Chain A
């Protein structure tokens, strides 16, 4: 019986039905762990506006989840702040209507803060397809940055893992040197940067080999 799932969370039922290049990516990175994972491998439900029709999305990477810990802790404190209002002297003198309005506004602002930070993490993605590597960044409503590098134009791949958090949680920056107009693409705070590099190297060999043939 064919099992249907929107995300590739486990190995496919029928081994060998994926394209060889996808199987090679699985061999390097493993499979997607869960839908909010920082690393999505061969996602079924992911696409982007500039994607070509025959182009296949192989890897989608977001900043490692640990980069969100700061704002999550801030949000928890913001959420709990109203419960400490009684500790402030004279707070009982504040009229109830101000407390109602102030409390509602405070939770709305907290929600907006959490939502904006989540959007900033969720929509800043690095996409590796079978043709190119793409960095999509949204700074705000009016600012979108789209940078890409053709896999065959990649000349050099390096990565950098610095500091306690990056070493502990294995994330860092990947630098993609290309022979194109944009000489370097920086993929920031990606999880498992060494595996990202291995995937890009494998793709370069595969596509380079196909071109030679």
Chain B
């Protein structure tokens, strides 16, 4: 009985973890869009680097989803 409760809790924990990671990935996507819009409006020497950082952050968010799926 207790084993079943533990299993359910683990499943719920995993679902919440993955959902939270997906929400964060959406935030990371918004950051990419934000940097692209800003770069279109104001063009300066560091713009390409900032776009790279934004995409790196998005990749990090996708890795987070992967970690939530595998580690939890």
Tell me the interface secondary structure of chain B in the complex. Answer: helix
Q: Which of these binds chain B: A134-142, A160-168, A192-200?
A: A134-142
A100 near B71 with CB under 8 A, answer yes
> Looking at the complex, which one of B24, B38, B60, B72 makes contact with A138 (CB distance below 8 Å)?
B38
Note all chain A residues with C-beta closer than 8 A to B33. Answer: 141
Note all chain B residues with C-beta closer than 8 A to A80. Answer: none
* Count class of interface residues, chain B: 20 to 34
Note all chain B residues with C-beta closer than 8 A to A119. Answer: 34-35, 38, 50
For the complex, is A186 an interface residue (Cβ under 8 Å from B)?
A: no
For the complex, is A48 an interface residue (Cβ under 8 Å from B)?
A: yes
* A residues 13-45 touching B (CB-CB < 8 Å): 35-36, 43, 45
Question: In the bound complex, how far is the Cα of B51 from the Cα of A133, in angstroms?
Answer: 27
Note all chain B residues with C-beta closer than 8 A to A71. Answer: none
Smallest Cβ-Cβ distance to B40: which chain A residue? A49
Note all chain B residues with C-beta closer than 8 A to A45. Answer: 43-45
B67 near A46 with CB under 8 A, answer no
B72 near A116 with CB under 8 A, answer no
- For chain A, the count of residues having a C-beta within 8 Å of the partner chain is 30
* B residues 10-37 touching A (CB-CB < 8 Å): 17, 24, 27-28, 30-31, 33-35, 37
Given A49-B42, A108-B64, A141-B30, 16 more contacts at CB 8 Å?
Answer: A46-B45, A48-B41, A101-B72, A104-B64, A104-B67, A108-B61, A115-B53, A115-B57, A119-B38, A122-B44, A122-B46, A123-B42, A125-B42, A136-B41, A141-B34, A144-B41
Give chain B's interface residues, CB within 8 Å of chain A: 17, 24, 27-28, 30-31, 33-35, 37-38, 40-46, 50, 53-54, 57, 60-61, 63-64, 67-68, 71-72
Mind listing 16 A-B residue pairs with CB under 8 Å?
A35-B45, A45-B44, A60-B44, A97-B72, A100-B71, A104-B67, A105-B64, A108-B57, A108-B64, A115-B57, A122-B44, A122-B46, A123-B41, A123-B42, A141-B34, A144-B37
Give chain A's interface residues, CB within 8 Å of chain B: 6-7, 35-36, 43, 45-49, 60, 97, 100-101, 104-105, 108, 111-112, 115-116, 119, 122-123, 125, 136, 138, 140-141, 144
